[in-house]
Amino acid sequence: MPFSGRNYSLRQHTVKTFADFCDPRTLAQIGLIAGGAFLLAACEPENETDTPVTAGVLDREGDYLELVSTGVMESIDSDGVAAVAFLPDTSTAWSGFIAASAEEGGIDLFDIEGQSVHRMTGSRLWGLAAAPGFQLRGESLPLLFGADRDTNLVRAYALLRTGPELIEAPIQPISPQGDIASVCGLDEGIGYVDLMVLSRGTTAEIWRVADNGGDLISATRRARFDLPSPVRTCAAGNGYIYASGPAGGIVRLSDDGQVEAQTDGYALSLAAGEFLGRPVLILSNGTNDTLEIRDGRTLELIGDAIIRDGFSIPGVDQPGAISATESSYGGTAYQSGLVAVADEADGRIRLIARETFARGIIVID
């Protein structure tokens, strides 16, 4: 087994065997978390027409949809957020984490209440890809990946939920041909996860990380293809792959790299998913005060969204890194998932309930 014979000294405990990765985490304030989400939803403004709406959707103002922040991460000493990813816990929804790669390097972990629970120092990572359901030898071992341009490697980290802690995962090297640009997650199954690794040129590679029973978690390149122009960020969702670069606009790709749809524009960060049955792509460019919401199939613009202040929770002045999940984080507000948006203005992450976002798309469509 890859963990036998090695001791990892951690802040609150020592990991000596692989079984130590799977200890259950006890939360003492379950009722407070669920109750806080309920109270937050109850305090949103009422709809003047008495028509029921989801908490957080205000209305369309001019050409923009106004959404309301429903959560915010704790302010920490950081130069900003480079990428965001979700690490949900399917067994205990409210104990999931939000991961953020810091502009100055390393990764921060937050709980759903917005508290910083762990900081790992290290390299500056470009893009984050999470595999929260990854299993090793049939046991849960959530993994987090990020592109390290200094070493030209995809870094892999294992999440120890009982700390919580992030440690380097025992994995074979993931290194693309050419200088690495970013990484994103494509698909996750039992014992494997597929990643897209972007180069700083015009090539992209698909790698499979899997438990093949060896001393190290295996990493195998499954495909390599050329793109029409360089891309710097990618995302997957709705059965599609999306990418954007400084010169090539925004594209939807097939799994063999063929461009199936393309539009002008540039995205610093992308997030994709299905909202009330409709495939949607969310974009931020790091300079505007709005998010672009596009049809996930045609890439046509559905509309723009502004995130305003919520109930004692600040809005977003300059959207940066974004991520979306369908996984439950518990409570009333986050049962159907979340959208996370980092604010370039203050370096903090805001949360918007996924249901709020979905119903907002109906308003602007």
Domains of the chain: 18-364 (2.120.10.30)
pLDDT at 364: 61
This prediction has a pTM of 0.82
Pairing assessment for the beta strands 349-353 and 71-72 based on DSSP bridges: antiparallel
pLDDT at 275: 92
Pairing assessment for the beta strands 192-199 and 203-210 based on DSSP bridges: antiparallel
Q: How far is CA 294 from CA 138, 248, 280, 284, 322, in A?
A: 39, 17, 6, 11, 14
Tokens of 124: 């500056």
Of 180, 198, 193, 301, nearest to 253 (Cα)?
198
* C-alpha to C-alpha distance for 242 and 17, rounded to whole angstroms: 39
pLDDT at 177: 87
Pairing assessment for the beta strands 301-308 and 64-68 based on DSSP bridges: parallel
Report the helix count and the strand count for the chain, using DSSP H and E.
Answer: 2, 30
Pairing assessment for the beta strands 233-237 and 259-263 based on DSSP bridges: unpaired
pLDDT at 312: 86
Of 182, 131, 130, 128, nearest to 153 (Cα)?
182
* C-alpha to C-alpha distance for 309 and 317, rounded to whole angstroms: 10
pLDDT at 63: 67
Of 89, 86, 58, nearest to 73 (Cα)?
86
Of 195, 199, 185, nearest to 149 (Cα)?
199
pLDDT along the chain (365 residues), means of 10: 34 35 33 32 35 36 77 85 95 94 95 95 94 91 96 96 92 93 94 95 95 94 93 94 91 93 95 93 94 96 92 92 96 90 94 89 67
pLDDT at 29: 31
CA angle, 204 then 141 then 8, to 5°: 105
Of 252, 148, 128, nearest to 193 (Cα)?
128
